[in-house]
């Protein structure tokens, strides 16, 4: 995926601006805040280490390109230094065995010079054939025409890479030569050939449509040797978005899946079809997380399949600001259902990383009855029930089982502080079948930041796991939903559970480090 001023404009379209309350005033900005600190804290994000949601030490994590071999996940990524250099986004690599701990392998493929086609590197993929690793990547240079071409580097050890200057694949006639990126190579075992799929735009579609001459297309090329490529008919087209970025295609069970990132709504989508069919099925809920998870690409160890993407930072580390490009690595485990639809679950390695149970200390509350590790909240409509817990630092896990007895709106608050004048709330809205991130200001209307569809079981019960590290928060529900968000006020400030109305029980509520 290329990066240019266009992305800043796109993020501006999705920005939400808020008025600040007194709860947002900076505290001491210490790296670690004392438990009984009186004010809300504004921690210095630059001093925070990310060991669960990986980021490089002095930069940020862009588009992941995962590759698996011999028990190790090699996650290549675009290194976002956020400097003013005219060349940017070299390929770096991080390795992991469990998506919970990481080893940074530093730079793999360097950028070219300011006049080279790969003055900036873009997304691609790694494929192995006959002992050689092929890294197909996007060469992007805004001063050239075409701006984008597909380029190649090879390796024999996944560590040392050599660029192949003889390989340059540019858009064929009828395709957009300046929007031609994110190659992925898959093997077609039926024909014994290899397919390269490329995100682009085209006036050559699967079906002639005079009303939409240009549309988002995943172009398809074929090869027998990974060097010589022949254009075939488009693999997929979409008239609803400008371009379908970072495509990924794989098979699980009886189905083939297509995953892509929609540049317009900033979300990762999927479609599926029977291996014997040509028509794609669009599920009712076709997103794989919210707007704070992008450029998702998958990888399998032959047991589980995972999807890795990035959670963006926000400008100036402010909840009121717009999203930046790049941030921290977030990885989910994909779950398949008999009807072909996908669910999202926490990777076992991440879940098992947090095993030390720490005591919960409810500081203040209203309308709450506690029995052991169970908290029953009864909101009366006029005033919500809540329990506020001590501030947490670093990385931690919250687990609970929620039973909605009569409540239709409940959830978790972050950045609660002592006053709860202004919080960021993860809201389970059973009346609207929504999972939302709202900014809630006392005695004022709530402001919705983002939302996802929420499947409400007949028993209205939810198994919930929340993983938080610094300002990244991921909530997993019933092995169905992952909801990733960047919440700066969450870091080093108290949190709470709440019920706006009716009765709800948070049973077995625990926190782990």
Q: For the segment 436-480, what is each residue's pLDDT rounded down to a tens digit?
A: 999 998 877 788 999 999 999 999 999 999 999 999 999 999 999
How much is the pLDDT for 456? 97
Burial letters 279-303, b for 16+ CB under 10 A, else e: eeeeeebbbbbbbbbbbbbbbeeee
Number of residues in the chain: 513
pLDDT tier, 383 (very low <50, low <70, confident <90, very high otherwise):
confident
Q: How far is CA 9 from CA 42, 167, 225, 291, in A?
A: 27, 33, 40, 15
How much is the pLDDT for 419? 80
Q: What is the per-residue pLDDT across 328-364, written as a single tens digit (0 to 9) for each?
A: 999 999 999 999 999 999 999 999 999 999 989 888 8
Mean pLDDT check: name the lowest of 150-159, 207-216, 395-404. 207-216
Q: What are phi and psi of 187, to 5 degrees?
A: -95, 130
Residue 21 has pLDDT above 50, yes or no: no
Reference 347, options 138, 113, 99; nearest CA is 99
pLDDT, the chain, mean: 90
Residue 43 has pLDDT above 70, yes or no: no
**Using the 8-state DSSP alphabet, how is residue 291 labeled?**
T
Residue 154 buriedness (CB in 10 A; 0-12 / 13-18 / 19+)? middle
Q: pLDDT > 90: what percent of the chain? A: 78
How much is the pLDDT for 222? 98
Residue 384 has pLDDT above 70, yes or no: yes
Residue 369 buriedness (CB in 10 A; 0-12 / 13-18 / 19+)? middle
Residue 268 has pLDDT above 70, yes or no: yes
* 3-class SS letters over 21-69: CHHHCCCCCCCCCCCCCCCCCCCCHHHCCCCCCCCCCCCEEEEEEEEEE
Q: What are phi and psi of 45, to 5 degrees?
A: -60, -30
Mean pLDDT check: name the lowest of 5-19, 60-74, 135-149, 324-338. 5-19
Q: What is the per-residue pLDDT across 426-438, written as a single tens digit (0 to 9) for each?
A: 999 999 999 999 9
Alpha carbons 63 and 309: distance in angstroms, whole number: 7
Alpha carbons 322 and 315: distance in angstroms, whole number: 6
Alpha carbons 71 and 93: distance in angstroms, whole number: 16
Reference 423, options 435, 415, 412; nearest CA is 415
Strands 481-486 and 472-477: antiparallel
How much is the pLDDT for 121? 98
Give the pTM.
0.91
Tokens 């050939």 appear where?
193
Q: How far is CA 84 from CA 57, 80, 87, 314, 336, in A?
A: 18, 11, 9, 18, 44
**Using the 8-state DSSP alphabet, how is residue 263 labeled?**
T
pLDDT tier, 1 (very low <50, low <70, confident <90, very high otherwise):
low
Interacting residues of 303 by C-beta distance below 8 A, sequence separation 6+: none
Residue 130 buriedness (CB in 10 A; 0-12 / 13-18 / 19+)? exposed
Whether the CB-CB separation of 134 and 185 falls below 8 Å is answered with yes
Q: List beta partners, residue 380.
A: 501
Alpha carbons 51 and 101: distance in angstroms, whole number: 6
How much is the pLDDT for 417? 79
How much is the pLDDT for 206? 59
Tokens 């089982």 appear where?
401
pLDDT tier, 172 (very low <50, low <70, confident <90, very high otherwise):
very high
Whether the CB-CB separation of 120 and 99 falls below 8 Å is answered with no
Mean pLDDT check: name the lowest of 114-118, 286-290, 317-321. 317-321
How much is the pLDDT for 19? 29
Interacting residues of 165 by C-beta distance below 8 A, sequence separation 6+: none
Interacting residues of 374 by C-beta distance below 8 A, sequence separation 6+: 505, 506, 507, 508, 509
H/E stretch holding 4: none
* Residue 489: cis peptide before it, omega within 30 degrees of 0: no
Residue 129 has pLDDT above 90, yes or no: yes
Q: What are phi and psi of 4, to 5 degrees?
A: -155, -175
How much is the pLDDT for 30? 37
Reference 255, options 277, 236, 286, 285; nearest CA is 277
Give me the mean pLDDT over the 15-44 stretch: 42
* Residue 146: cis peptide before it, omega within 30 degrees of 0: yes
How much is the pLDDT for 35? 47
Alpha carbons 367 and 143: distance in angstroms, whole number: 62
Residue 29 has pLDDT above 50, yes or no: no
Quick one: how far is CA 137 from the chain centroid?
21
Strands 342-345 and 305-314: unpaired
Give me the mean pLDDT over the 129-135 stretch: 97
Tokens 């399998």 appear where?
300
H/E stretch holding 350: helix 348-353
Residue 300 has pLDDT above 90, yes or no: yes
Six token digits for residue 240: 């609803």
How much is the pLDDT for 8? 37
Q: What is the per-residue pLDDT across 206-261, written as a single tens digit (0 to 9) for each?
A: 555 556 678 999 999 999 999 999 999 999 999 999 999 999 999 999 999 999 99
Q: How far is CA 387 from CA 171, 175, 227, 325, in A?
A: 58, 57, 62, 35
Residue 5 has pLDDT above 60, yes or no: no
């Amino acid at each position: 995926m290329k990066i240019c001023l266009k992305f800043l404009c796109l993020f501006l379209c999705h920005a939400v601006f808020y008025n600040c309350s007194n709860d947002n005033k900076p505290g001491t900005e210490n790296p670690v805040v004392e438990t009984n600190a009186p004010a809300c804290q504004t921690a210095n994000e630059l001093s925070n280490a990310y060991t669960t949601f990986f980021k490089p030490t002095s930069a940020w994590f862009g588009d992941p390109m995962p590759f698996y071999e011999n028990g190790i996940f090699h996650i290549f990524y675009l290194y976002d230094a956020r400097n003013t250099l005219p060349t940017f986004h070299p390929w770096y690599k991080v390795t992991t065995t469990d998506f919970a701990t990481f080893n940074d392998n530093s730079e793999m493929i360097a950028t070219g010079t300011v006049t080279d086609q790969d003055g900036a590197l873009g997304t691609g993929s790694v494929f192995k054939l006959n002992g050689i690793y092929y890294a197909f990547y996007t060469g992007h240079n805004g001063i050239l025409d075409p701006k984008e071409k597909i380029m190649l580097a090879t390796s024999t050890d996944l560590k040392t890479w050599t660029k192949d200057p003889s390989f340059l694949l540019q858009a064929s006639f009828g395709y957009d030569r300046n929007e031609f990126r994110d190659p992925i190579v898959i093997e077609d075992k039926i024909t014994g050939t290899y397919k390269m799929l490329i995100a682009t735009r085209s006036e050559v579609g699967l079906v002639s449509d005079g009303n939409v001459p240009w549309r988002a297309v995943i172009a398809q090329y074929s090869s027998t040797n990974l060097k010589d490529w022949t254009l075939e008919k488009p693999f997929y087209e979409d008239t609803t978005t400008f371009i379908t970025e970072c495509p990924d295609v794989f098979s699980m069970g009886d189905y083939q899946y297509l995953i892509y990132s929609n540049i317009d709504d900033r979300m990762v989508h999927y479609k599926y079809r029977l291996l014997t069919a040509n028509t794609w099925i669009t599920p009712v809920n076709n997103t794989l997380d919210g707007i704070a998870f992008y450029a998702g690409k998958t990888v399998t160890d032959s047991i589980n399949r995972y999807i890795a993407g990035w959670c963006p930072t926000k400008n100036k580390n402010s909840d009121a600001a717009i999203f930046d490009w790049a941030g921290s690595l977030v990885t989910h485990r994909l779950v398949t259902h008999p009807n072909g639809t996908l669910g999202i679950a926490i990777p076992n390695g991440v879940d098992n990383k947090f095993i030390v149970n720490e005591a919960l200390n409810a500081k203040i509350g209203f309308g709450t009855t506690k029995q052991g590790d169970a908290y029953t909240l009864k909101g009366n409509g006029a005033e919500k029930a809540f329990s506020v817990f001590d501030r947490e630092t670093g990385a931690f896990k919250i687990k609970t089982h929620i039973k909605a007895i009569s409540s239709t709106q409940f959830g978790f608050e972050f950045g609660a502080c002592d006053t709860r004048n202004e919080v960021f709330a993860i809201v389970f809205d059973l009346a609207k079948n929504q999972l939302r991130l709202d900014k809630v200001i006392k005695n004022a209307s709530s402001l919705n930041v983002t939302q996802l569809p929420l499947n409400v079981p007949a028993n209205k019960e939810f198994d919930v796991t929340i993983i938080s590290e610094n300002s990244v928060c991921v909530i997993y529900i019933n092995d169905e939903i992952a909801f990733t968000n960047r919440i700066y006020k969450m870091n080093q400030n108290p949190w709470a559970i709440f019920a706006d109305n009716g009765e709800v029980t948070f049973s077995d509520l625990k926190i782990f480090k």
